[in-house]
Amino acid sequence: MILAGDVALVTGGGAGIGEAIAHRLARDGAAVLVADLMAERAERVAVELRAAGLRAAPFTLDVAEEQQAAAAVAAAEAEFGPLRIAVCNAGITDRVPALEMSRRDFERILRTNLTGCFVTAQAAARTMVRHGKGGRIVTTSSVSGQFGGTGRVAYGASKAGIISLTQVLAMELAQHGILVNCVAPGPTQVARTAHGPKQRAAFLNHMALQRYATPAEIAAGVAFLCSDDAGFVTGHVLNVDGGFAAAGVLYDPADGP
């Protein structure tokens, strides 16, 4: 129970990677506030965790609303005690060519992904500074924030922004003993990445490990960054991507030139 006694907030915790993170941190001993825009999803995950004898509570949250983010932090502390871990995971995506994307949709994605990450991290950091006992903040970016990809003008921009946000927060919060790091998943098998065969082949052609990640594998990276084993790690982007970021031209020489 490497996180025994810790209190964690996980945004987007009602499905996909966020759900896996909530389960992993709870199994590692943390009390988890499962925050999600959809109340029924947050409730379902919290019920599952409590049924397993773990500590969890649901919270309905629009991450981009500053007052709601502060309320989520307050709820976690009222329920379980001083917050030590915040995982800013909530996000949405779209697949629209840049020339066809409306400003409204562009801003909607940035509002949830980037602004939501900022106000959640800010609210968590403020209470961690006030307690004076340090803490861990982990953001969720993506390999799409590191490389250009078609149909990802808003999503990629938001995820690139999260990387810079993480690094700035790491520098500013180090004096308070708060470590801020980022997990950047590669293609992960969740409902929203129900890729068709052509898109799936395009991803796998750029990966050393010829498969998608499971949400639990992304959650393992988050759990490491929340643990004492990562006590000298801050401002870091941990790619959990099957070799996607390391890849160049991939082909079998046996196939000929």
CA angle 229, 224, 176 (to 5 degrees): 65
Exposure string of 112-143, with b = 16+ CB inside 10 Å and e = fewer, is bbbbbbbbbbbbbbebbbeeeeebbbbbbbbb
212 is catalytic: no
CA–CA dist 182, 173 (Å, integer):
14
Bridge partner list, 88: 139
User: Which H, E and C letters describe 17-64, residue by residue?
Assistant: HHHHHHHHHHHCCCEEEEEECCHHHHHHHHHHHHHCCCCEEEEECCCC
Other C-beta atoms lying within 10 Å of the C-beta of residue 232: 6
Selected catalytic residue, list 59, 80, 155, 203:
155
Active site residues: 155
